[in-house]
């Protein structure tokens, strides 16, 4: 059995769990898939590695990279991950830059015409104006928002 993850921490836990449950022949990719790609080129990795921060879709294969996901609107190959500009939909999917322009950041015609649709911000993700995680700033946003909150209180 072979486990791998983005940074080599989650699969460390998963491997330990599998061994504890009695599995033998458990292997893991030390350092994670990103490090593997940087060091080995990632030749046999198709597609992009999805990560839960502002990098979103990260390249692993620098030798013969291949996009395998398709644009939700036009079906052409695209790994451009965005959130639909309609906050009531907010679907997270691949939409190519051309379609994003045409659809004004929305995933469908009904979302494009939705009364609450956010203005398309050229990025395709919309950070909250409240305390908490911001995909734009990553985990740095926690500290920053706390400082802002402190200032407001004082
Ligand atoms: Zn498209
Ligand atoms: Zn939508």
pLDDT in tens, the chain (154 residues): 988 888 878 888 999 999 999 999 999 988 888 888 899 998 989 998 888 777 788 889 999 999 999 999 999 999 999 999 999 999 999 999 999 999 999 999 999 999 999 998 777 777 654 445 555 555 555 555 455 555 555 5
pLDDT of residue 89: 94
Query: What whole-number distance in Å separates Cα of residue 100 and Cα of residue 104?
Result: 6
Domain locations in the chain as residue ranges: 2-42
99 is catalytic: no
Cα–Cα distances in angstroms (integers) from residue 53 to residues 10, 58, 81, 114, in the given order: 16, 10, 12, 27
Question: Are residues 12 and 28 in contact, defined by beta-carbon separation less than 8 angstroms?
Answer: yes
How many Å separate Cα 28 from the centre of its chain?
Answer: 22
pLDDT of residue 34: 86
What 3-state DSSP class applies to 37?
Answer: helix
pLDDT of residue 153: 57
pLDDT of residue 67: 94
Residue of 5, 49, 99, 107 with catalytic role: 5
What is the reported pTM? 0.69
| 52 Cα–ligand 2 center, Å | 20
Residue 101, number of CB atoms within 10 A of its CB: 12
| 126 Cα–ligand 1 center, Å | 20
Tell me the ligand closest to 111's alpha carbon: 2
């Amino acid at each position: 059995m072979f486990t791998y993850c983005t940074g080599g921490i989650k699969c460390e836990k998963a491997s330990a769990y599998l061994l504890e449950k009695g599995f033998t022949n458990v292997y893991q990719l030390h350092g994670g898939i990103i490090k593997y790609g940087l060091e080995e080129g990632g030749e046999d990795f198709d597609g992009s590695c999805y990560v839960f921060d502002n990098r979103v879709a990260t390249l692993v294969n620098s030798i013969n990279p291949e996009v395998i996901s398709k644009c939700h609107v036009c079906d052409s190959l695209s790994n451009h991950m965005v959130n639909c500009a309609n906050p009531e939909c907010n679907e997270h999917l691949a939409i190519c830059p051309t379609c994003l322009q045409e659809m004004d950041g929305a995933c469908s015609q009904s979302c494009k015409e939705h009364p609450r649709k956010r203005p398309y911000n050229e990025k395709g993700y919309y950070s909250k104006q409240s305390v908490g995680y911001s995909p734009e700033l990553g985990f740095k946003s926690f500290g920053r928002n706390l400082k802002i909150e402190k200032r407001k209180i004082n």
